[in-house]
Structure 1
């Protein structure tokens, strides 16, 4: 069966799609196969997933383990994530002011309605806090507010931006321009 799948993938007009399909079909039957033909299909599929810009979060355990076996790790080699230094606040342009009582969306992890949205709130007492809005569950798609107490309470908007950027680590699907310099990791 594997000979036929590999040959069909190599001869297909759309080799990319056929390779992924052949890998997926055989991978369902024998996901831990060490057969070189299977590993060739798997390796080609992983390269295509990476080239499409998908993150390692889309890989199953066998796929991730194979990538690590060949490349040593996922973060920089698959996800192309690297560390950057977050500048001092004094070296950055001033963030747009957030007035007392106001709320501003700062980040969205993926498109709505499924993405988690992160907001800054400037409370009447002058402090700043982060809260998120996300669906309750896949069975109940009601969006609810969740206070992100673990991030803390802040006396400046810039301190909030630094904490949220550090929590999210890499730029999200969408983010406010004021948050951009505070991400400590970037994708190449």
Structure 2
């Protein structure tokens, strides 16, 4: 019984977090690709990439307080900007404008913070992956002022998950308590 509860728990966690990193939008919409890096640190490098593109161009490239637009893949030039240019509280989300079906794919966000020595090669201190599906079907749920905000999908996936976990844990604890009462009752009845 215990192993079944653990398997269900792991499956639900995995499914919920996978859902948090997927977003579906319609062609022509703007979308926020959500990424929150470390808070209260100076972000020295921010890279948004699409690994499936066959070139070295970035979706977004920021280093040492400057955007390098000449490093961007041609299809993203003029269409991507930071949601919060000051990156307060580690918010390194970007807005991708006027999405097309060719924007469908995997997006990786890599964040590096200032190091003690500038000679150190920057390695990501944080990363996140988002799956974007651009499609003409579906409704405008999550559509906010022309921008599809994927953060709203997180609550929708997490709330049912928490309910299922609480219910499963409650059933497990109740059965365990009942088994303990039965074994204690049996011990009391022995001569």
Q: TM-score range by the shorter chain?
A: under 0.3
Q: What is the TM-score normalised by the length of structure 2?
A: 0.26
More strand by share: 2
Q: Taking structure 1 as the reference length, what is the TM-score of the superposition?
A: 0.26
- With a CA cutoff of 8 Å and minimum separation of 6, indicate the structure with the bigger relative contact order: 2
